[in-house]
Amino acid sequence: MKVAAILPAYNEEDRIARVLEAVVGAKLVDEVIVVSDGSTDSTAEIAEAMRGVRVIRLEKNVGKGGAMAEGVRATEADVIVFLDADLVGLRSQHVDDLVEPVLNGSDMCVGVFRKGKLWSDAAQAIVPLISGQRALKRSLFDQIPWLDEVRMGVEVTLNQFARKRKMRIRRVTLRGVSHTCKERKFGLVNGTKQRAKMYAEIGKAMVRTRKKMRLH
């Protein structure tokens, strides 16, 4: 089965190169796609300069769910591995560890941070399945036509759908991996606003998915 790695990215020029180095080196990944989600910095240019990386430029910011969906539409891969563009400590083996369970029969595999940063470890200990690092069968993603609309609620939508359909979900530990917190990227005030917006989008996505699932 062909495997595509998709990285939705918004203004990640300071972080995306080190993530892509790990992804490009993964043995189980056949294709690497970066979706620049309306970035106004050099995210797209940095990604395009890396060998083996294809970049999709979106003129407007459509949110994480929409960017992920654009990436999926751009590939014919059977397995998709999604990775955040602001990760710290990611290695090629981590990527392969996410992909391998899906190649061996699981419907989805979610990566959980451990021994990275205290705050990110604690967050995933509380809600381990709200992780942007996951591999899944393309057929699972294609069954959820409203993913374009849920923005930062895309992970909880995938979780709800997979659980409702009693799909096989695995977890793997991504030891030493964390991500850059919003307060550090955007400053304390704007970062706090972005975090509140993220939680609001997650809440809306949970409600929306429950309604959609009742109709199907």
* Triad 207, 205, 35: Cα angle to 5°: 170
Say what the pTM is. 0.82
At residue 70, the pLDDT reads: 97
User: In angstroms, rounded to a whole number, what is the distance separating the alpha carbons of residues 5 and 20?
Assistant: 10
At 189, phi and psi to the nearest 5? -70, -55
CATH number, domain with residue 122: 3.90.550.10
β-strand partners of 178: 88
DSSP secondary-structure letter at 60? S
Domain count, the chain: 1
The letter for the amino acid at 172 is V
Q: What is the pLDDT of residues 82-124, one digit of tens each?
A: 999 999 999 999 999 999 999 999 999 999 998 755 545 455 4
Q: What is the pLDDT of residues 126-182, one digit of tens each?
A: 454 578 899 999 999 999 988 888 887 889 999 988 988 899 999 999 999 988 766
Structural domain boundaries enclosing 128: 3-215
